[in-house]
């Protein structure tokens, strides 16, 4: 693997370190950082931190014997890490929380290099976790987006084709409710973060790489047939029809994997990263498959392919050369993406077997386009100004609460309110 030189800017000094495979030594030039020391790696993978990750640690430390890696697994990763980022104590390497706005990336993370340079090797850097032409994180794996499903349950209900419209999808869920004992669609409402996975389908509905950013130019992104309307309507309608778990406040993420594996849950809206976790929880992994979002453009399904969480280096780290060595080793050599059935972050990486269903259904991938230069944080700024929380659990929980009759709101009232707040926020941000 080609040796890589990375410029590190910290406290006004430039630190150059080569981070590549095979225990490469730092290259000369400037103040060369030694790949040594103790580093703490924060992860959300509480399920495999004591097993699979220990294997990664052993392999890495054999290549970099002067580095000691310690993992810190965090269940509420978004909430806890976002809070810790108000201090300097948030590990040496960590996953960038989704709540971090692009404009804030330089305040918390080391730049890894230019978008132009890194896009020659890595996927997802042109439109994700970059700012001002610099990249701040490398994906741990790539995901397609759609729905994990239990094939056996769907087949028992007589549904063998991928639903091509929201109406067909709701009909399929109803058939499951009528013909089996399974919960047709599980929201994972209580844990919250799984609900945010629904929005990862933006871009697929219109088969438009620029669609997620186009809402920055609209006052009515929840209007009829707009992507957010389609996504939120499908969730609302499924809950309103009684096709989801009977008591959403008692859902449990870890339990949901077992329920799907046992055929007690039929479907969940999650990125393709979840396929292997569901397969591992199933008595027969072949029962678990993956569906595209139920919408077609010109007779073709589409799925947004994007990066999962991005590994990044804490700008306050005392051992940045070692932290960078881990970051690149994890992307290039750990095999994590393949282990998890994900799309490799490297352009030359393999395609996972877990997406074989997409070949059957003729799904085409959409990789989102970057926001225009200078507008990288525009959608986030409007979202924050309007206090909507496009990427927060509360936004989707509001949809579920209304649909199950817990809030007194109608779907139309919610969409009207969201459109009004979005339009007002757009005007304020423009000023």
| CA-to-CA separations, 189 to 23, 35, 174, 202, 248, in angstroms, rounded | 44, 43, 20, 20, 5
- Structural domains for the chain: 5-139+309-342 (3.40.190.10), 145-305+357-366 (3.40.190.10)
Q: Residue 375 and residue 275: Cα distance in Å, rounded?
A: 34
pLDDT of residue 376: 85
Report the alpha-carbon distance of residue 321 to residue 338 in Å, rounded. Answer: 26
Q: Are 212 and 368 in contact (CB under 8 A)?
A: yes
How high is the pLDDT of residue 411? 98
Predicted pLDDT at 352? 86
* Per-residue confidence (pLDDT) for residue 18, from 0 to 100: 29
| DSSP secondary structure, 98-139, as one string | TT--GGGHHHHB---EEHHHHTTTBSSTTTSSEETTEE--EE
Number of other CB atoms surrounding residue 173 within 10 Å: 26
DSSP readout, 216-232? GG-S-TTSTTSHHHHHH
pLDDT tens for each residue of the chain, 431 residues long: 333 333 333 322 222 222 333 333 333 223 336 899 999 999 999 999 999 999 999 999 999 999 999 999 999 999 999 999 999 999 999 999 988 989 999 999 999 999 999 999 999 998 889 999 999 999 999 989 999 999 999 999 999 999 999 999 999 999 999 999 999 999 999 999 999 999 999 999 999 999 999 999 999 999 999 999 999 999 999 999 999 999 999 999 999 999 999 999 999 999 998 999 999 999 999 999 999 999 999 999 999 998 999 999 999 999 999 999 999 999 999 999 988 888 899 999 887 889 989 989 999 999 898 888 889 889 999 999 999 999 899 999 999 999 999 999 999 999 999 999 999 999 999 87
pLDDT score, position 22? 32
pLDDT score for 14: 26
pLDDT value for 30: 31
pLDDT at site 164: 98
Report the pLDDT value the prediction gives residue 367, as an integer from 0 to 100: 87
pLDDT computed for residue 351 by the predictor? 76
State the pLDDT at residue 27. Answer: 33
Helices within 2-91 (DSSP H only): 52-63, 77-84
Burial of 101 (0-12, 13-18, 19+ CB in 10 A): middle
pLDDT score at 4 = 39
């Amino acid at each position: 693997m080609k040796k890589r030189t990375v410029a590190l800017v910290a406290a006004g000094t430039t630190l150059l370190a080569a981070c590549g495979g095979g225990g490469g030594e730092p290259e000369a030039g400037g103040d060369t950082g030694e790949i040594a020391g103790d580093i703490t790696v924060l992860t959300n993978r509480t399920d495999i931190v004591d097993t699979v990750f220990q294997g990664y640690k052993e392999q890495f430390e054999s290549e970099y014997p002067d580095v000691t890696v310690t993992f810190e697994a965090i269940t509420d990763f978004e909430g806890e890490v976002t809070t810790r980022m108000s201090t300097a104590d948030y590990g040496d390497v960590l996953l960038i929380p989704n709540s971090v706005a692009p404009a804030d990336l330089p305040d918390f993370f080391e730049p890894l290099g230019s978008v132009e340079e890194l896009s020659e090797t890595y996927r997802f850097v042109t439109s994700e976790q970059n700012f001002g032409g610099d990249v701040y994180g490398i994906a741990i794996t790539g995901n397609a987006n759609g729905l994990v499903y239990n094939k056996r349950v769907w087949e028992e209900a007589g549904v063998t084709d991928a639903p091509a419209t929201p109406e067909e999808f709701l009909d399929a869920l109803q058939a499951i409710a009528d013909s089996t004992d399974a919960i047709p669609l599980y929201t994972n409402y209580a844990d919250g973060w799984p609900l945010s996975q629904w929005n990862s389908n933006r871009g697929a509905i219109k088969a438009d790489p620029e669609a997620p950013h186009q809402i920055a130019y609209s006052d009515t992104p929840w209007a009829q047939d707009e992507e957010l309307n389609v996504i939120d309507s499908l969730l609302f309608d499924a809950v309103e029809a009684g096709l989801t778990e009977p008591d959403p406040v008692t859902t449990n993420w870890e339990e949901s994997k077992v329920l799907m594996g046992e055929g007690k849950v039929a479907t969940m809206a999650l990125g393709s990263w979840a396929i292997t976790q569901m397969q591992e929880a199933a008595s027969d992994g072949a029962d678990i498959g993956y569906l595209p979002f139920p919408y077609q453009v010109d007779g073709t399904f589409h799925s947004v392919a994007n990066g999962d969480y991005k590994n990044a280096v804490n700008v306050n780290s005392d051992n940045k050369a070692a932290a960078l060595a881990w970051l690149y080793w994890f992307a290039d050599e750990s095999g994590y993406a393949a282990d998890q059935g994900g799309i490799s972050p490297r352009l030359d990486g393999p395609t996972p077997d877990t997406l074989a269903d997409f070949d059957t259904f003729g799904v085409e991938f959409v990789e989102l386009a970057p926001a225009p230069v200078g507008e990288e944080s525009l959608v986030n700024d409007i979202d924050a100004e309007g206090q909507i929380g496009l990427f927060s659990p509360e936004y989707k929980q509001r949809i579920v609460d209304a649909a199950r009759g817990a809030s007194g709101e109608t779907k139309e009232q919610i969409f009207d309110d969201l459109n009004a707040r979005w339009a007002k926020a757009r005007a304020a941000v423009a000023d």
